[in-house]
Amino acid sequence: MQLYFIRHGQSENNLIWEQTGSDEGRDSDPDLTAVGQRQVGRLAAFLSAPGTAGGNSVAGHHNVSGFQLTHLYCSPMVRAIETALPAARALGLPLVVWEDFHETGGIFYNDAETREQHGLPGRTRAEFSSRFPELILPETGWETGWWNRPFESREQRPPRAQRVLQTLLERHGGTEDHIAVFSHAGFYNHLLRIVFDMPGDTVIWFELQNTGITRIDFHSDRQRVVYANRIDFLPRHLLT
């Protein structure tokens, strides 16, 4: 199994943070910015390019002959969906929403007075179907919102990452499947710590830029990190 973990394009919240260094004015489930939209256009073209034939193993590790993606999964957050859909269309592959790939915390708002985080419902099944009719949603649920629970605590995040990795291996381990996951930087860090069997309190941050790609190949006896935070398909003015 080849796993490609891809962060969403620049979101409205990312832009707020970049401009102010603050979360003030954040949206609980933001859209992409105009820059983010241009980033994901470049990403879709990169992932769907046929590549060139031949080459040695090093060239293969850098996807010179293309990505040959077989399965696409995305977080139910709008910025991830908006990132994944252009690639799904370019590749002609179904896009499956996988709830556990959501960003840490879930759907919430910050109380300006108490600084506490409060969970929100999130978008409903009807809202998803109306705005993104191409998505493959879970068969049931989400009628009143996909989140509908309190803010996700730090203690809840590593078990979710463990659950994701276990399910990925059950579905695709030992196969030649090429999996692309469109998700978030916070969750990326928790997933990598599980893959690398790192202590939960590890003080390290794995950087992942907007639309950055990390490739990990899973073999029967080992995992190979082929590259991380790949953004060479973006021109300099679209790096965020």
Q: What is the pLDDT of residue 97?
A: 98
Q: What is the pLDDT of residue 63?
A: 92
Q: In this structure, are residues 225 and 196 in contact, taking their beta carbons and an 8 Å threshold?
A: no
pTM over 0.85: yes
Two tokens, residue 212: 């950055």
Q: What is the pLDDT of residue 92?
A: 98
Q: What is the pLDDT of residue 61?
A: 77
Q: Which stretches of the chain drop beneath a pLDDT of 70? A: 53-59, 200
C-alpha to C-alpha distance for 2 and 218, rounded to whole angstroms? 6
Task: Kindly tell me the number of DSSP H helices and DSSP E strands found in the chain.
Answer: 7, 8
- Picking from 212, 171, 221, the residue whose alpha carbon sits closest to that of residue 189 is 212
The contacts found for 91-94 with CB under 8 angstroms, 24 or more apart, are 91/47, 91/48, 93/69, 94/134, 94/136
Q: What is the pLDDT of residue 161?
A: 97
Residue type for position 123: R
Q: Which domains does the chain have, with CATH numbers?
A: 2-48+58-216+226-238 (3.40.50.1240)
Q: What is the pLDDT of residue 55?
A: 58
Q: What is the pLDDT of residue 192?
A: 96
Q: What is the pLDDT of residue 57?
A: 66
- Picking from 207, 157, 213, 201, the residue whose alpha carbon sits closest to that of residue 185 is 207
Residue type for position 55: G
Q: What is the pLDDT of residue 19?
A: 92
